[in-house]
Amino acid sequence: METTIQILINSIVSGLLLSLVAIGFTYIFQVTKVFHLAHGGIYVSGAFACWWVLTKTNNWFAAIILSVAVVAILIYLIEKTIYLPLTKKQSNQSISLIASMGLYVVIVNVLALFFGSENKIIDNTVSGSFELGNIILTKVQAIQSIIGVALIVAFLIYLKFSKSNLALQAVSDNETISKIFSINTESERTKVFIIGSILACIAAILKTMETGIDPQAGMSITLTAAVVAILVARLNVLLIIAFSIGLTILQNSVEWFLNAQWKEGITFLILLLVILFRTEGIISYNLRKDRA
Amino acid sequence: MNYLLHISVMLEIYILLALSANQKVGLSGLLSLAQAVFYGLGAYTASITITKFEFSYWLALPIAILICVIAGLLFSFVAGKVRELYFSLATLALQIIFFSVAYNWIPVTNGSYGISGISNPEIFGLKINTPASFALFGGVWVLLVILFYVWFLKTPISRLIQATRDDQIAVLSLGKNPNYYKRISIMLSAVIAGIAGTLYATYTTYIDPSSFTLDESILILSIVLIGGAGRIIGPITGAVIYILLPELLKFLQMPDSIAANMRMILFGLLLVLIVRFKPKGLFGKYLIQ
């Protein structure tokens, strides 16, 4: 029983971090139609920037500001030089997927070249934990949950009180008609890329506090976020969070009861079944029509 | 000299892989991220039949081809059901599932420890166990596959495969079943990748799942896209660039520790630039849009 509760608690915390990555991925995918696997590269770039500043200055505030800036500039350049021109050429989605993979390979290898491939640990982090019987919540996990929830709330508030929410849904549904209705689709695209990348960057920093970071660490979480994006297949933050946590619970149970290596196999088996039998996402089509 | 021969064997294996991927990407327009699955199936089937049942290479090869044909057939049902991005994603999922199985099905694949002691092929009592003989052996395979394509690209069936790529509805209107041509294309591609796998396994005499990952599939696809899809020369050029790039870096006196990352950076950059500015690849015929 206690094991189950412990798995549940750990899953909810890592599910929250996953949902930060997945919200960015889903919004980018739905609005720009780019299957942005380089999100994994952005994720590790943010974490490496933070780690690097911390080793130089030991100042958390500077580290976070700088890593957010690095990520924002990087994604801005990628969007303006690669993704946007490809979209303007009306390339098929598979092409932007391939461009995105190329970018991922470049980013990861540049990081490995400059900083090495070994795992980087942040020294200046909190230790200790809260205990209730045999159930443990580490202080790092507490920080992860608080910041994770705060960011999600901030994102929801942003969607509610800016015009962006409607604009994003419009661009997601039909970019050409959105342009006719004087929505600046290019700026909406840029916004969604930058916001999504910042969310991923913070998630990466939070994860690094717990386990450290290596250049390859971004792929696995991005692929899982991509699975969430395909399963949800719509712009709904709460659903994305629910699916992220659900998927993490499943992965952690598989890891606990079977074997750590099966967890990706099972995640992608679900993806394969959904793609083959419910390409429109798990939520039924009728439900999705109500939104229109 | 041995090093040069080793490079040529690797080049031959990658040319076969690139030609097999070209069958899918260039002739059928299917951007598959699971080419390493068939490569791995060929390698694993050969390794298991050779080490566990003590088959010779010439008995293991047809079994590997048969397994690849069956896998290709199953795989083609995915291609019949979804298209474009969702096809790529379905193949990505298959690739990761394959890796999981290869890694965890220990009684058969020996998991992460891999399979060692795979014996080299023999021809008429001559053992192919030196780099030179293997380079020759691989060269013969490459030549056979190239000759096959020179012939195959002129056949009506290859034209129908390409027609299916360009316009499925037009193919339907001719009373032909597009899925049938996709299936042939995928099975053919699987067989060539499987042959490359048997070569790899018997050349290195040791395999483990890390040779058949998603990264490998992405690499094979990139080789085809950089060289250019649709022609025979395209994938061969791509493979030559990929294999000779590190040698060029060595020539520039770059230390090995940097060269490995530098190779992937240049290759990734080349892929992005090709997709962005020259979508047909260096020598391609078919434009993927």
Band of pLDDT at residue A18, cut at 50, 70 and 90 = very high
How confident is the model at residue A286, as a pLDDT?
A: 46
Q: Say how far apart CA B39 and CA A242 lie, in whole Å.
A: 38
Cβ atoms of B37 and B71 closer than 8 Å: yes
Q: What integer is the mean pLDDT of B172-200?
A: 90
Q: In degrees to the nearest 10, what's the CA dihedral of A274, A275, A277, A279? A: 100
Cβ atoms of B95 and B37 closer than 8 Å: yes
Indicate the residue of A89, A92, A109 with minimum beta-carbon distance to B264: A109
User: Is B288 part of the contact surface with chain A (CB cutoff 8 Å)?
Assistant: yes
Contact A113 B82 (CB under 8 A): no
Nearest to B79 by CA among B186, B193, B217, B230: B186
Cβ atoms of B218 and B264 closer than 8 Å: no
> Which tens digit of pLDDT belongs to each residue from B198-233?
999 988 888 888 888 888 888 898 888 888 888 888
pLDDT of residue B20 exceeding 80: yes
For the segment(s) A2-124+132-290, the CATH number from 1.20.1440, 1.10.287, 1.10.3470, 1.10.4160 is 1.10.3470
Q: What integer is the mean pLDDT of A83-99?
A: 83
A31, A56, A138 from A164: Cα distances, Å: 11, 38, 37
pLDDT of residue A288 exceeding 70: no
Band of pLDDT at residue B287, cut at 50, 70 and 90 = low
Indicate the residue of A98, A105, A271 with minimum beta-carbon distance to B93: A271
In a domain, B54, yes or no: yes
B11, B23, B159, B179 from B172: Cα distances, Å: 39, 21, 14, 10
> Which tens digit of pLDDT belongs to each residue from A242-286?
999 999 998 888 888 877 778 888 888 888 888 887 766 666 554
Contact A90 B218 (CB under 8 A): no
* 3-class SS of residue B104: helix
pLDDT of residue A91 exceeding 80: no
Among B88, B97, B219, B263, the residue to mutate for chain A (most A Cβ within 10 A) = B97
How confident is the model at residue B82, as a pLDDT?
A: 78
How confident is the model at residue B288, as a pLDDT?
A: 64
Indicate the residue of B92, B96, B267 with minimum beta-carbon distance to A265: B96
> Which tens digit of pLDDT belongs to each residue from A37-78?
899 999 999 999 999 998 888 888 888 999 999 999 999 999
> Which tens digit of pLDDT belongs to each residue from B63-104?
999 999 999 998 888 777 777 788 888 888 889 889 888 888
B79: nearest CA in chain A? A276
Q: What integer is the mean pLDDT of A285-292?
A: 44
Q: Report chain B residues whose CB lies below 8 A from the CB of A95.
A: 275, 279, 288-289
According to DSSP, residue A138 is labeled E
How confident is the model at residue B289, as a pLDDT?
A: 58
The ipTM assigned to this model is 0.84
Indicate the residue of A95, A110, A275 with minimum beta-carbon distance to B288: A95
Contact A94 B78 (CB under 8 A): no
Q: Report chain A residues whose CB lies below 8 A from the CB of B269.
A: 102, 106
Q: What is the DSSP string of A153-221?
A: HHHHHHHHHSTHHHHHHHHHH-HHHHHHTT--HHHHHHHHHHHHHHHHHHHHHHHHHHH-B-TTHHHHH
Q: Report chain A residues whose CB lies below 8 A from the CB of B225.
A: 98
In a domain, B257, yes or no: no
Indicate the residue of A90, A102, A112 with minimum beta-carbon distance to B272: A102
Q: Which residue's structure tokens are 């042959």?
A: B195
Mean pLDDT taken over chain B: 86
Q: How many domains does chain B have?
A: 1
In a domain, B224, yes or no: no
What residue numbers bound the domain in which B121 lies? 2-212
In a domain, B102, yes or no: yes
Band of pLDDT at residue B147, cut at 50, 70 and 90 = very high
Q: Report chain B residues whose CB lies below 8 A from the CB of A92.
A: 84-85, 288-289
- Give how far A111 is from chain B: nearest CA, Å: 9
pLDDT of residue B32 exceeding 80: yes
Q: What integer is the mean pLDDT of A95-118?
A: 88
Contact A105 B267 (CB under 8 A): yes
User: Is B173 part of the contact surface with chain A (CB cutoff 8 Å)?
Assistant: no
How confident is the model at residue A124, as a pLDDT?
A: 64
Q: What integer is the mean pLDDT of A209-237?
A: 86
In a domain, B51, yes or no: yes
- Give how far A287 is from chain B: nearest CA, Å: 22
Band of pLDDT at residue B194, cut at 50, 70 and 90 = very high
